[in-house]
């Protein structure tokens, strides 16, 4: 199973020092609205393949693979994939991966 399959939206995971991935049901996922994540978490940045964009919000067509997957597996920590919900209640148009700050 690749990391994209493992990291369903709102399911917190932890990458251990040996690269093992475990579910962390004891940690509540943060909320993400208009590109802003709740305190105690930071968004991974610079992994989008969108032309002319290098921010943290990924296009719906993108996935957790390639450079992003390698980065997550090489950096032990707690991560979660989140849908970016607009504050105006319109349809979300992107998503991001957040890492829990130490």
Q: Write the pLDDT tens digit of every residue in 53-100.
A: 889 999 999 999 999 999 999 999 999 999 999 999 889 989 999 999
For residue 1, the model assigns a pLDDT of 63
- Residue-range definition of the domain harbouring residue 73: 3-100
pLDDT at 52: 87
What is the count of structural domains for the chain?
Answer: 1
Residue 34 has pLDDT above 80, yes or no: yes
Supply φ then ψ for residue 27, to 5 degrees.
-115, 125
pLDDT at 89: 81
Per the model's pLDDT, the better-predicted residue between 49 and 30 turns out to be: 30
- 18-42 burial, b at 16+ Cβ within 10 Å, e below that, comes to eeeeeeeeeeebbebeeeebeeebe
Q: pTM for this structure?
A: 0.94
């Amino acid at each position: 199973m690749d990391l994209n399959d493992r990291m369903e939206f709102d399911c917190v995971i932890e990458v251990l020092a040996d690269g093992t991935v475990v579910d962390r049901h004891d940690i509540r996922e943060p909320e993400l609205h208009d590109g802003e994540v709740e305190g105690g978490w930071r968004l991974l940045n610079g992994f989008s393949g969108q032309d002319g964009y290098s921010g943290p919000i990924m296009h719906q067509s993108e996935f957790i693979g390639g450079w992003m997957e390698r980065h997550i597996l090489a950096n032990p920590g707690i991560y979660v994939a989140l849908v970016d919900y607009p504050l105006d209640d319109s349809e979300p148009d992107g998503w991001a991966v957040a890492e829990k700050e130490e």
